[in-house]
Amino acid sequence: MPNKKFDYDKYLRKNTLPHIWCPGCGDGIILKSLIRAIDKCGYSKDDVVITSGIGCASRLPGYVDFNTIHTTHGRALTFAVGIKMYKPRLKVITVSGDGDALAIGGNHFIHAARRNIDITMIVFNNYTYGMTGGQSSPTQPLGTFSTTTPFGSVEGPFDVCNLAQAAGATWVGRSTSYHAVQLEKFIVNALNHKGFSVLDVITNCHISYGRRNKMKSPVEMIHYQKDKAVNVRSSENIAPENMAGKFKTGILYENKGAQEFSEEYYKVLNAVKIK
């Protein structure tokens, strides 16, 4: 049960509120879970850096009292890599939408994963470009509608988690904005993992996505998340054909022993450094 005494004010920049998100948007739930997770990890606010790209999700850093960088479209990870490599003691988190992370930022995403750099990447995956009005995104499910696929999408979507794992991420998980308690727990897990951790969070954009796909209210979209999510353990007993239209949630991959980029880099640096 959420602790009613939790002090959100400690982390919110109240002078920047109200936020830009539409009423009923799932992004606020992720923001809340992120704040609670950071609090649980006990980081000093001075040591946390949050970078983001462009889009609805990427407005999050403006609302929270850390070192925050709202960068260019798709490039949040490049700034994150820069500051992490220069000051590896900092805890670096990147928040990004599905279009930001995987379309325009796809190259940076796979390379951050390949390097296994100690950054936690949270993908706010709502299947659409919400801020620009609902265009097709690289995670848009087949056959669904957007302003730029008015006759239904015939492109296959990325599976964020499969992509991250294949590219080299060493912690990969998925949750939804419906599973708020699990979401908070997974963010804590991802933050505590040393290496590149990717958390795919299925969230709702009823305005830009839901309206065009028979889920015009946030409630309908929350039901969608609840109904389509299959816990990874339960999914093992389900035939692949019965998983169509559903998605796995849970910690999908974890490799604790893998070499982490910034740590290995500084080992080399200290070894060759002229004393």
Partner 1 sequence: MTKNIKLMQGNEAVAEGAIIAGCDFFAGYPITPSSEVMEQLSSKLVKLGKVCIQMEDEIAALGAVLGAALGGAKALTASSGPGMSLKAEHIGYASMCEIPCVIVNVMRGGPSTGLPTLPAQGDIMQARWGTHGDHAIIAITPSSVNESLYETIRAFNLAIKYRTPVLILTDEIIGHMREKVVIPNKEDIKEILDVKLPDVPPEKYFPYNYTSGKVTSLAPMGEGYRYHVTGLIHGETGFPSQKTDVIQNAQKWLYDKIYKNIKDIEKFEEFQTEDADILIFAYGSVSRSARQAILMARSAGIKAGLFRPITIWPFPEERVSSLSKKIKKIIVPEMNMGQAVLEVQRNACGSDVYGLNVVNGEPITPDTIYYKIKEVAGA
Of 256, 173, 187, 200, whose CA–CA distance to 39 is shortest? 187
SS3 229: strand
Do 120 and 197 contact (CB within 8 A), yes or no?
yes
Report the distance separating Cα 173 and Cα 1, nearest Å.
22
Q: For partner 1, what does the binding mask look like between residues 145 and 174, x meaning CB under 8 A?
A: ------------------------------
Rounded alpha-carbon distances, angstroms, from residue 4 to 8, 36, 52: 10, 12, 29
Q: Does 108 bind partner 1 (CB under 8 A)?
A: yes
Q: How far is the CB of 173 from partner 1 (least distance, A)?
A: 24
Using CB under 8 A, which of 31, 35, 49, 101 touches partner 1?
A: 49
Contact stretch for partner 1 (CB under 8 A) within 73-81, 95-103, 173-181, 205-213:
73-81
Using CB under 8 A, which of 39, 43, 67, 149 touches partner 1?
A: 67
Contact stretch for partner 1 (CB under 8 A) within 66-74, 155-163, 193-201, 210-218:
66-74
Residue environment code for 251-268, b if the CB has 16+ CB neighbours within 10 A, otherwise e: bbbbeeebebbbeeeeee
Q: Does 120 bind partner 1 (CB under 8 A)?
A: no
Of 97, 122, 263, 124, whose CA–CA distance to 190 is shortest? 122
Of 119, 165, 117, 121, whose CA–CA distance to 261 is shortest? 117
Do 71 and 52 contact (CB within 8 A), yes or no?
yes
Q: How far is the CB of 77 from partner 1 (least distance, A)?
A: 8
Q: Does 71 bind partner 1 (CB under 8 A)?
A: yes
Q: How far is the CB of 265 from partner 1 (least distance, A)?
A: 7
Using CB under 8 A, which of 12, 19, 40, 83 touches partner 1?
A: 83
Name the helix (H) or strand (E) containing 174.
strand 171-176
Using CB under 8 A, which of 78, 96, 153, 170 touches partner 1?
A: 78
Q: Does 43 bind partner 1 (CB under 8 A)?
A: no
Question: Which tokens belong to 1?
Answer: 């049960």
Q: Does 264 bind partner 1 (CB under 8 A)?
A: no
Q: How far is the CB of 82 from partner 1 (least distance, A)?
A: 3
Q: How far is the CB of 166 from partner 1 (least distance, A)?
A: 16
Q: How far is the CB of 91 from partner 1 (least distance, A)?
A: 10
Q: Does 16 bind partner 1 (CB under 8 A)?
A: yes
Of 74 and 218, nearer to partner 1 (C-beta) is 74
Q: Does 18 bind partner 1 (CB under 8 A)?
A: no
Helices (H), 140-206: 160-167, 180-192
The DSSP result for 4-34, as a single string, is TT--GGGTB-GGGPSPSSPTT-THHHHHHHH
Question: Which residues are near partner 1 by CB under 8 A?
Answer: 13, 15-16, 45-47, 49, 51, 61-62, 65-72, 75, 77-87, 89-90, 107-108, 111, 265, 268-270, 272-274
